[in-house]
């Protein structure tokens, strides 16, 4: 025989083909990670994950696991009533002011301001109801922002009354007339 038989390939009879193709000029074969580095690359993250899960995440994520502080409310309910001593109507029936108090009625504007008289919230009086003493009472409830030391409240054009933050959080009882 003069060389390898073309029907069986380039390798001499009885020899297995090489495992890898011959290297290409200028190309380096990829390197495999040594076994100790491979164990570290897989083992350390797995160990850390196990510790984190075993402690509920608090050991590794201590800051994230702390409960958030309770937020302070950003609004306050300002409520109360305006009693008009010179109203009209029968007991329990709707009523409203007359004469010099005709602006005191259902829907009259109630304005909440800060200490510098900047408007914070606007609401209105509810329907007036006559009580046994002959007075007409109008309820109101307005939501205003917190964070101010003093608040003002004005019903219709009757002048501004000033209250501290602690006072404004309790129901207000205002009155007009004799």
| Residue 154 three-state SS | strand
Task: Please report the pLDDT score of residue 72 as a whole number.
Answer: 67
pLDDT of the chain, 178 residues: tens digit per residue = 555 555 555 555 556 655 656 656 666 666 676 777 667 777 777 777 777 676 665 554 555 555 666 666 799 999 999 999 865 667 888 888 888 899 999 999 999 999 999 999 999 999 999 988 889 999 999 999 999 999 999 999 999 999 999 999 999 999 998 7
Task: Please report the pLDDT score of residue 69 as a whole number.
Answer: 64
Task: Please report the pLDDT score of residue 116 as a whole number.
Answer: 95
- How many Å apart are CA 144 and CA 1, to the nearest integer? 105
Task: Please report the pLDDT score of residue 99 as a whole number.
Answer: 84
Task: Please report the pLDDT score of residue 109 as a whole number.
Answer: 98
pTM recorded for the entire structure? 0.58
Task: Please report the pLDDT score of residue 45 as a whole number.
Answer: 74
Task: Please report the pLDDT score of residue 57 as a whole number.
Answer: 55
Task: Please report the pLDDT score of residue 67 as a whole number.
Answer: 60
- How many Å apart are CA 82 and CA 176, to the nearest integer? 7
* Helix extents (H) in 33-79: 35-54, 62-65
Task: Please report the pLDDT score of residue 9 as a whole number.
Answer: 55
- How many Å apart are CA 175 and CA 93, to the nearest integer? 19
DSSP 70-138: PPPPSEEEEEEEEEETTEES-TTSEEEE-GGGTT-STT-EEEEEETT--EEEEEE---EEE-TTS-EEE
């Amino acid at each position: 025989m003069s060389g390898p038989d073309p029907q069986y390939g380039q390798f001499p009879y009885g020899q297995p083909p090489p495992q890898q193709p011959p290297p290409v000029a200028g190309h380096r074969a990829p390197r495999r990670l040594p076994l100790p580095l491979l164990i570290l690359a897989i083992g350390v993250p797995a160990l850390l994950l196990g510790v984190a899960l075993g402690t509920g995440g608090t050991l590794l994520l201590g800051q994230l696991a702390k409960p958030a502080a309770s937020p302070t409310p950003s609004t306050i309910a300002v409520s109360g009533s305006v009693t008009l001593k010179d109203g009209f109507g029968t007991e329990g029936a709707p009523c409203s002011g007359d004469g010099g108090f005709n602006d005191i009625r259902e829907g009259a504007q109630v304005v909440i301001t800060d200490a510098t008289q900047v408007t914070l919230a606007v609401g209105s009086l509810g329907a007036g109801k006559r009580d046994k003493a002959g007075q007409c009472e109008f309820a109101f409830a307005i939501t205003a922002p917190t964070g101010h030391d003093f608040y003002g409240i004005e019903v219709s054009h009757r002048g501004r009354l000033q209250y501290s933050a602690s006072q404004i959080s309790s129901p207000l009882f205002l009155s007009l007339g004799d």
